[in-house]
Each structure stands twice: as C-alpha cells, then as structure tokens.
C-alpha cells in the first residue's frame, strides 16, 4: 500500500484493498458464480488481486458485489463473505488484531488501523468499550448495491470474534441501519443472536464473557511487532495529509442533513477556528472553498456512481432542499444533475 496516500483519491467516495475483493470473489465462487467472467467484466487481473498495494474504488466494489449477487441469486452474499473472512484477509491489521492478548484488544487493533485497508468519505469504524460494541458508519441511502457491504463487515467482525474465542455464540445483539429485506430469520440464524433492522446505527455488541476472554491466537511479541508496523504505516499515511485533506476527511460525514461550521471542524481537529483559518490560508484555500469543492466532487460521484435520488443526494451533501442542490450543481457543471446522470449513463453503455 502506498505510504503517502492522501484523502483526495481518484474517486472521492473512497477505496478499499483488493484483499476485500478477493473475499468477495471467493464467496461468489463458493455460491457457484464463474469468477473468471466477473474478473474480466470488472478488469481484475490475478496480478492485481495478488498485490497488497492494489485498491479499487468503493463504487466499483459495489457494482462488483451487485453483479455477484445477481449471478449467485444469494441476497445474503455478505454473510457468506463474513463467514469466509480470515484475519489475514484484513491485512497486517487483521494479523495484529488476531495476536492481541484479549478479544477486546483485538477489536481495538482492527478499528485503530482500519485506514490501512480502506478509506471512505462516509466516516470510520468506532469502538465503545463500555458497551462492548463495534460500530460501522452509515452508508445511507441504502439500495441493492450496498446492503452487502454492511452485511459483510458486521459478519466479518462476528467471524473475527469466533476465530479468537473458538466459540460460535459470541454476540449479544446486532443492529443494522437499513430496513428489513425479508431475511430476518436467516440473519438471526447466522449471527446467533437478535438482529434489529431499521436501527439507528450498524453495530455488533459482543457478549460480556467473549469480550473479556484471552484470545486463542494471542502472541505478545508478535502482537507488539505487528502493531508497531501498523502504527508506522498509519503515521506515514497521515503525514501525507495537508490541513485541507484533514478538513475534507471530516466534512463528508457531517454534511448529512446540515452544513458543518468552521468551529465544528476546528474542534474536531483540536484547533481554534482562527488557527484553522490561518493554516488553510497558508495552503492557499479557505474553509468555504474546501466545503464547496468537496460538495462539488461528491455531487459528481453520487450522480455518476450511484442511483440515489436527487433528494437523497441533497440531504447527503447538507443542502437545505433539492432546489438548492440543483442550483449549486448547475453552477458547478453548467448542467442539471438529472441531465448529467443521463450523460454518465450513456457513456457507461458505450464502454
């Protein structure tokens, strides 16, 4: 993985390691799909899949997952992915987490170093030790292209706990933000605990006894070595971020339904608003310009890469209403968002 990767990737929605893609393809193959056809269709070579540095955009991943689900007919393919996810499939962070002294410390490691494997403009995973919960950020609006992302992440966390404890019943509860798709019994049977759909967040809650257990894969010396390697790589990534990059990284999750203020961002960076303004000025930009540029790039990607309605996109970008979004989009691209989507779709059909 490149050591100085910035937040401003070729696709502003984010990217993910091909290690995750390899799990998706294994799960699809186990369900009977011809993965050679899938790889060819999405321009994925064996060389790409064998490179720990390779990444693909999140929109491309979602299209790949949707295609795999259509081929297999398994709407719960994300659960199959979780069942097939090993610590090594999460990269060095997974190996570091597996060798941690306890299950709780294992999840701590996974969450802290998640950036080594993926980056999304939607936010970051988090952990709440008091409630023994591991939380996945919102990727609203939900549709057939991204249900499997939530399913696979939560299922992979369940599988990680099972791997470390040697037990199947490790969860107290699972919460899923998107509404029920009619597979409630299947999900509860797989997770072996109550599953709440239409919840406020995506979350797994670990059983008290499992949370405090020593890891069956614990190895103190190896954990220390791997964690040091993860920390060094994380710091290399963050050193490549300008103040503007850090602001953009914080902006997107806060856009949803509102316009974040300079003070809100400054507080999250541990700076005063004046210090943040001065730092951005030295980089030749302003908070207002960064906010407008970030919205512009995200708007283009949402229109080009997703089927989200204009109302949903307006909300995701923090506009007061769809009309305000429509006006801003015309200012940015000299075309309406609906017309621009038709152009993008036409281009995709030709290619």
DSSP 139-202: -PSP-TTTHHHHHHHHHHHHHHHHHHHS-S--EEEEEESSPP-S-HHHHHHHHTS-EEES-SSE
Q: How confident is the model at residue 12 (pLDDT cuts 50, 70, 90)?
A: low
Radius of gyration over every alpha carbon of the chain, rounded to an integer in angstroms: 21
The pLDDT score that the predictor gives to residue 307 is 81
Average the pLDDT over 76-97 and give the result. Answer: 97
pLDDT the model gives residue 10:
46
pLDDT at 65: 97
State the pLDDT at residue 249. Answer: 79
pLDDT recorded at residue 270: 85
pLDDT tens digit sequence for 328-347? 999 999 999 999 999 988 87
Instruction: Name every residue whose Cβ is closer than 8 Å to that of residue 351 and which is 6 or more positions away in sequence.
Output: none
- Burial class for 288, CB neighbours closer than 10 Å (0-12, 13-18, 19+): exposed
What is the reported pTM? 0.82
pLDDT tens digits, one per residue of 266-322: 998 888 999 999 999 999 999 999 999 999 988 998 898 888 899 999 998 999 899
Instruction: Assess whether pLDDT exceeds 90 at residue 238.
Output: no
In angstroms, the Cα distances linking 59 to 39, 42, 111, 116, 303 are: 16, 12, 22, 19, 11
**CATH 1.10.10.60 segments of the chain:** 242-350
pLDDT in tens, 117-170: 998 878 889 999 999 999 999 988 888 999 999 999 999 999 999 999 999 999
Question: Is 242-350 in CATH node 1.10.10.60?
Answer: yes
State residue 138 phi and psi, 5-degree precision.
-75, 140
The pLDDT assigned to 9 comes to 43
pLDDT at 8 over 70: no
Arithmetic mean of pLDDT over the chain? 91
The angle subtended at Cα 252 by Cα 349 and Cα 154, nearest 5°, is 80
Task: Count Cβ atoms within 10 A of the Cβ of residue 245 and give its class: 0-12 exposed, 13-18 middle, 19 or more buried.
Answer: middle
Going by C-alpha positions, the residue among 87, 78, 67 that lies closest to residue 159 is: 87
Angstrom CA distances, 124 to 184, 212, 287, 297, stand at: 26, 24, 22, 20
Q: Which residue, 321, 148, 267, 284, is CA-closest to 136? A: 148
How many Å apart are CA 196 and CA 200, to the nearest integer? 10
Length of the chain: 351
Residue range 9-18: mean pLDDT, rounded: 74
Look at residue 340 in the predicted model and tell me its pLDDT: 95
> Rounded CA gap, 175 and 180, in Å?
11
Would you state the pLDDT for residue 133?
98
Please give the angle made by the CA atoms of 125, 79 and 72, to the nearest 5 degrees: 130
């Amino acid at each position: 993985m490149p050591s100085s990767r910035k937040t401003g990737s070729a696709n502003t929605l984010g990217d993910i390691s091909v290690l995750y893609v390899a799990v998706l393809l294994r799960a699809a193959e186990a369900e009977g799909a011809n993965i050679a056809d899938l790889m060819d269709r999405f321009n994925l070579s064996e060389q790409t899949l064998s490179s720990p540095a390779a990444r693909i955009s999140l929109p491309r991943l979602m299209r790949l997952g949707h295609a795999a689900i259509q081929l297999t007919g398994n709407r719960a393919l994300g659960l199959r992915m979780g069942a097939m996810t090993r610590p090594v499939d999460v990269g060095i962070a997974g190996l570091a987490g597996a060798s941690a002294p306890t299950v709780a410390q294992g999840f701590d490691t996974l969450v802290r170093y998640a950036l080594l494997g993926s980056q999304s403009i939607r936010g970051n995973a988090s952990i709440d030790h008091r409630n023994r919960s591991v939380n996945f950020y919102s990727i609203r609006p939900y549709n057939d292209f991204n249900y499997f992302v939530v399913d696979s992440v939560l299922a992979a966390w369940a599988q990680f706990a099972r791997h470390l404890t040697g037990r199947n019943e490790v969860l107290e509860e699972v919460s899923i933000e998107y509404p029920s798709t009619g597979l409630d019994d299947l999900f509860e049977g797989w997770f072996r605990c109550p599953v709440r759909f239409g919840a406020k967040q995506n979350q797994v809650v670990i059983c008290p006894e499992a949370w405090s257990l020593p890891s069956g894969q614990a190895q103190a010396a190896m954990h220390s070595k791997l964690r040091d390697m993860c920390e060094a790589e994380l710091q290399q990534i963050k050193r490549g971020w300008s103040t503007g990059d850090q602001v953009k990284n914080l902006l997107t999750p806060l856009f949803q339904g509102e316009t974040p203020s300079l003070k809100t961002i400054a507080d999250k960076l541990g700076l005063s608003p004046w210090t943040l303004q001065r730092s951005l000025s030295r980089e030749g930009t302003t908070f207002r310009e960064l906010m407008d540029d970030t919205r512009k790039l995200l708007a283009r990607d949402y229109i080009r890469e997703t089927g989200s309605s204009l109302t949903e996109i307006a909300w995701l970008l923090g506009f007061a209403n769809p009309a305000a979004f429509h006006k801003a989009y015309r200012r940015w691209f000299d075309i309406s968002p609906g017309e621009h989507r038709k152009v993008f779709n036409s281009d995709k059909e030709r290619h």
